[in-house]
Amino acid sequence: MPRWPYAGRVTSTQPASRVPIGATGLVLGGLLCQEVGASFAVLLFPTVGALGMVTLRLVFSAIVLLLICRPRLRGYSRSDWLTVAAFGLVLAGMNALFYEALARLPLGPAVTIEVLGPLLLSVIVSRRASSWLWAVLAFIGVALLSRGGLEALDPIGVLFAAGAGALWAGYILMSARTGARFPKLDGLAIAMSIGALVTLPLGLGTAGSTLFSPTILLLGLAVAVLSSAIPYALELLALRRLAASTFSILMSLAPAMAAIVGALVLGQGLTLVSGLAILLVVVASAGAVRSASVHARKQAGLAEPVA
């Protein structure tokens, strides 16, 4: 699950043939923090529920962003506000559906199914028939999940994860539109605040006064920092030294990282078949990103970098 919009915010001119090892470590460290944060959220589900956890994460993330960005609220058109409001609703829905999926599915499969959203978006944007082969490979991987010792996958959880993936694709699109209308991270700070306000009544209705327990608040802050603040900071550092295509391919490792963290932190073991299924989705996601990158470079009349 994404923390912040990163698509299109690449300032590096680093050739794809020269990938800094340190920058790669930053991306992988961000992914690790993200999945550890998700696993901590799962541990809180019995106490506050999925919606309560979503509320805690969005509220704390919004507070952090507002303190850092201090966004300007004047001078925007009605269309600007409608755009950022839509972004906030998509962000809230994506997080809510993902956490509802995590309440019913192991971490690895949930992230694997969710990543189909941006993968399909990448395939569609590339406008190449050959790119659909990557989508087919990804769906084969997901189909294998039901036969890899995870036959008890909750169908409702699968639907929640698929819905989160669809909204993730919408999140990427709305992120770009919001970023074009609001400077720096102002749009994200406003959208995150809108998402927090939308989920707050749901979280209170689910968890009640438990949501205000000092221990729960502290753990909620930890989840927000691990899932959002730290990964975002690491990605910003990495993006200064990595090509956009390289960064996106590294982000495709999210399902594998989720499976590893789920096994180590939550004791969610994987069979050989389900491990292969996740690997297929990782390969398909990386392939789709690579294909879209090559197509974009050809459209721009640029030479393809040596991998």
141 located within any domain:
yes
User: Is the pLDDT assigned to residue 225 strictly greater than 60?
Assistant: yes
Burial pattern 44-61, b for ≥16 Cβ within 10 A else e, equals bbeebbbbbbbbbbbbbb
**pLDDT band at residue 218 using 50, 70 and 90 as cut-offs:** very high
Q: How far apart are CA 170 and CA 167, in angstroms?
A: 5
139 located within any domain:
yes
291 located within any domain:
yes
35 close to 223: Cβ distance less than 8 angstroms: no
9 located within any domain:
no
Please state the rounded mean pLDDT for residues 125-154. Answer: 72
Mean predicted lDDT score pLDDT of the chain: 82
304 located within any domain:
no
The reported pLDDT for the residue numbered 103 is 94
Q: Which domain holds residue 277?
A: 21-299
307 located within any domain:
no
The reported pLDDT for the residue numbered 200 is 95
User: Is the pLDDT assigned to residue 287 strictly greater than 60?
Assistant: yes
15 located within any domain:
no
Structural domains counted in the chain: 1
292 located within any domain:
yes
Q: How far apart are CA 38 and CA 109, in angstroms?
A: 13
